[in-house]
């Protein structure tokens, strides 16, 4: 039967359940519970739905304020009050928060900040109010930072090459370029990626010279291949819903490009070297400022002949500029970027990968099709509007449908780094010296960290089929590619050691400014007084309120075995066990 209120039948209903003393059972310390039944017509998100949304759209729930009387994190309450779309639109209005300013500051005190680009990344992800002592107040822009992090796994560069390993500002500048464009237009993003010196060095098209038949030399084809395969159109012609097109005659899938196309795109990307425009030496050595400005064109080193690109699009013969300011080079580069940007594959190819990074590993063709349509037209005739794409991904009926929680084909493994960030935000982790370098060593435990991909193919492939039932069902699970015999042990061990030591990671053994400490104060109070309230709090902060009743009961029973009759620090061990069991639970490791 339904609940009714004769005075206000449209309002939410509050129900108090009280268990009275009786025979055959014992009433524990908690004899009553209060629940709110939300009106079916209500459009506001529930706390669980808002927490789940924040894991998809940002870095998860933050820590509930100490003076708050409920267990609902502050950012969850904000989403509940504003609704998904309004909250998202408000996030779009926050100015980009960049990483390079911190890296530049840290360069003056290298003994304090060892890898400042990673320290800056953690400050931005965790929403540090001032990213360095005495610095200007920072706004928290979690949606932009989250989308940028997802895009950085598509437009991959890595600090594993020795030259880039020590070029902190250049790497941060590249990342900031993605931050700047993450909610802009994809066309600008693709052009800025193609002309950034870090990408030029990483995929070897910086100082790429035109071919010379006399010496039997040819342009480098590395970037030309990857800009198609990874950054724009993929390997196979796609329908708008991401399914592969089939040749009517052969019945086979249709490749998007040929070796001839690679050769012609390689010719386009000749004549680029380190800027700025005032630079006149094509062979110039990249001193630090050179990493901070786009590459410039040198027509003297550029292939000026006509080129045929995708779908029969042709560039004309070019005339070299005089003086050589690279005009012909940049005309060809812009034409090639336009050719790629307008290819019908881009929407479904990039859209699917962003869905995978934010929401689910195996989106339906209909879901991909809706996101692809938003890429093609934002509603105002604009193609490539990334705000429209992100809005379509996060507000799609599939993404917001609570019934998907029970769909075995829905969801994604949460990548190790984002699990650690969610953990840090849920417990307001910080260091007194704003130094997160020690946490950047997370890679040793999880085989993942920003800026450190093993190759241009990222840490995992978007079509990775894991062994076992998931892969046998034809379901991809990219993040499982870095789940192996090592990380299956090192990942839970990381969380165990972090909880026991009260630090996300420790630099050395004594310096408190480099110890990133989670704050368990509020949870500690519940550990001694109300085990179930502790679990409910952790459940909402870490698993979006999705712990199964069976798991909730199992954790509760395990915690109740630790009492004042146990050895010293039973209350601390009870808290430690509660946090550990939830951080290693399926509900935390898999986002549904």
229 in the same domain as 335: yes
What are the residues whose beta carbons fall under 8 Å from the beta carbon of 135, sequence distance 6 or more? Answer: 101, 102, 105
Closest Cα to residue 350, out of 386, 309, 378? 386
Q: Could you read off the pLDDT of 432-470 as tens digits, one per residue? A: 766 665 565 566 677 888 999 999 999 999 999 999 999
User: What mean pLDDT is predicted for residues 128-152?
Assistant: 86
Q: How far is CA 352 from the centre of its chain?
A: 14
356 in the same domain as 295: no
Packed helices 386-395 and 142-152: angle between N→C axes, nearest 10 degrees: 100
Whether residue 88 lies inside any domain: the answer is yes
309 in the same domain as 228: yes
292 in the same domain as 381: no
pLDDT at 504: 77
What rounded mean pLDDT belongs to the chain?
Answer: 91
Can you give the pTM of this predicted structure? 0.91
Whether residue 36 lies inside any domain: the answer is yes
pLDDT at 434: 63
What is the C-alpha to C-alpha distance for residues 79 and 543, in angstroms, rounded to an integer? Answer: 17
Least confident segment among 58-72, 185-199, 362-376: 58-72
Name the pLDDT band for 31 (thresholds 50, 70, 90): low
Q: What is the CA radius of gyration of the chain?
A: 27
380 in the same domain as 337: no
What is the SS3 assignment for 393-461?
A: HHHCHHHHCHHHHHCCCCCEECCHHHHHHHHHHHCCCECCCCCCCHHHHHHHHHCCCCCCCCCCCCCCC
Q: Are 263 and 246 in contact (CB under 8 A)?
A: no
If you ran DSSP here, which 8-state letter would residue 169 be given? H
| Single residue among 92, 117, 134 that ends a domain in this structure | 92
pLDDT at 67: 78
333 in the same domain as 240: yes
| Single residue among 355, 380, 400 that ends a domain in this structure | 400
Residue 251, pLDDT above cutoff 60: yes
Helix (H) or strand (E) holding 191: helix 186-195
| Single residue among 92, 120, 146 that ends a domain in this structure | 92
Whether residue 483 lies inside any domain: the answer is no
Q: How far apart are the first and last CA of the chain?
A: 30
What is the C-alpha to C-alpha distance for residues 374 and 364, in angstroms, rounded to an integer? Answer: 16
383 in the same domain as 288: no
283 in the same domain as 357: no
| Domain extent at residue 376 | 347-400
Question: Could you tell me the sign of the dihedral formed by the alpha carbons of 321, 221, 207, 452, in that order?
Answer: positive
User: What mean pLDDT is predicted for residues 375-389?
Assistant: 99
What is the C-alpha to C-alpha distance for residues 563 and 72, in angstroms, rounded to an integer? Answer: 27
| Structural domains of the chain, count | 3
Whether residue 325 lies inside any domain: the answer is yes
pLDDT at 506: 52
Closest Cα to residue 375, out of 354, 360, 359, 358? 354
318 in the same domain as 238: yes
Whether residue 191 lies inside any domain: the answer is no
363 in the same domain as 257: no
Whether residue 575 lies inside any domain: the answer is no
pLDDT at 9: 39
Six-digit token pair at 176?
A: 């900031």
Whether residue 459 lies inside any domain: the answer is no
Six-digit token pair at 562?
A: 């630790």
Whether residue 460 lies inside any domain: the answer is no
Closest Cα to residue 117, out of 176, 169, 155? 169
SS3 of residue 383 by DSSP: coil
77 in the same domain as 33: yes
Six-digit token pair at 199?
A: 């990408």
What is the C-alpha to C-alpha distance for residues 5 and 477, in angstroms, rounded to an integer? Answer: 47
381 in the same domain as 287: no
Name the pLDDT band for 11 (thresholds 50, 70, 90): very low
Helix (H) or strand (E) holding 202: helix 197-202
């Amino acid at each position: 039967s339904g609940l009714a209120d004769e005075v206000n039948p449209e309002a939410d209903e509050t129900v108090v359940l009280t268990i009275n003393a009786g025979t055959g059972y014992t009433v524990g310390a908690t004899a009553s519970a209060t629940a709110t039944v939300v009106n079916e017509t209500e459009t506001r998100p529930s706390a669980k739905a808002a927490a789940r949304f924040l894991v998809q759209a940002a870095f998860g729930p933050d820590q509930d304020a100490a003076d708050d009387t409920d267990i609902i994190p502050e950012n969850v309450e904000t989403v509940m009050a504003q609704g998904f779309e309004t909250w998202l639109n408000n996030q779009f209005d926050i100015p980009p928060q960049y990483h390079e300013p911190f890296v530049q500051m840290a360069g003056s005190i290298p003994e304090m900040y060892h890898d400042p680009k990673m320290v800056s990344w953690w400050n931005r992800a965790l929403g540090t109010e001032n990213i360095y002592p005495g610095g200007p107040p920072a706004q928290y822009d979690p949606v932009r930072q989250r989308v940028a992090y997802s895009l950085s796994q598509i437009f991959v560069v890595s600090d594993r090459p020795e030259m880039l390993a020590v070029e902190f500002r250049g790497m941060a500048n590249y990342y900031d370029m993605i931050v700047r464009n993450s909610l802009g237009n994809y066309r600008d993003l693709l052009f800025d990626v193609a002309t950034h010196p870090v990408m030029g060095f990483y995929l070897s098209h910086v100082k790429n010279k035109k071919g010379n038949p006399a010496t039997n030399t040819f342009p480098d084809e590395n970037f030309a291949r990857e800009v198609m395969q990874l950054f724009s159109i993929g390997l196979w012609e796609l329908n708008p819903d991401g399914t592969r097109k089939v040749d009517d005659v052969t019945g086979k899938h249709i490749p998007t490009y040929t070796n001839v196309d690679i050769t012609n795109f390689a010719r386009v990307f000749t004549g680029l070297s380190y800027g700025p425009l005032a630079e006149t030496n094509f062979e110039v050595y990249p001193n630090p400022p050179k990493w901070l400005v786009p590459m410039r064109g040198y027509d003297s080193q550029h292939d000026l002949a006509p080129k045929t690109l995708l779908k029969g699009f042709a560039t004309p013969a070019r005339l070299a500029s005089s003086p050589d300011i690279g005009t012909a080079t940049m005309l060809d580069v812009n034409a090639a970027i336009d050719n790629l940007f307008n290819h019908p594959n881009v929407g479904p190819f990039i859209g699917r990968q962003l869905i995978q990074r934010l929401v689910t590993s195996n989106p339906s063709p209909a879901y991909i099709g809706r996101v692809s349509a938003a890429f093609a037209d934002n509603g105002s005739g604009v193609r490539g509007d990334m705000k429209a794409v992100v809005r379509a991904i996060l507000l799609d009926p599939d993404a917001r449908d609570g019934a998907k929680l029970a769909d075995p084909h829905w969801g994604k493994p949460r990548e190790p780094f984002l699990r650690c960030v969610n953990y840090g935000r849920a417990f307001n982790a910080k260091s007194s010296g704003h130094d997160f370098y020690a946490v950047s060593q997370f890679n040793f435990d999880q085989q993942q960290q920003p800026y450190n991909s093993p190759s241009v193919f990222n840490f995992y492939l978007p079509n990775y089929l894991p062994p076992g039932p998931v892969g046998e069902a034809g379901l991809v699970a990219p993040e499982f590619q870095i789940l192996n015999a090592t990380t299956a042990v090192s990942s839970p061990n990381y969380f165990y050691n972090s909880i026991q030591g009260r630090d996300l990671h420790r630099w050395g053994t004594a310096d408190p400014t480099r110890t990133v400490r989670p704050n368990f104060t509020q949870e500690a109070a519940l550990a001694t007084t109300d085990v179930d309230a502790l679990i409910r709090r952790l459940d909402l902060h870490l698993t979006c309120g999705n712990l199964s009743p069976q798991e909730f009961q199992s954790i509760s029973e395990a915690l109740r075995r630790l009492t004042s009759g146990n050895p010293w620090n039973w209350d601390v061990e009870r808290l430690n066990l509660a946090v550990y069991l939830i951080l290693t639970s399926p509900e935390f490791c898999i986002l549904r």
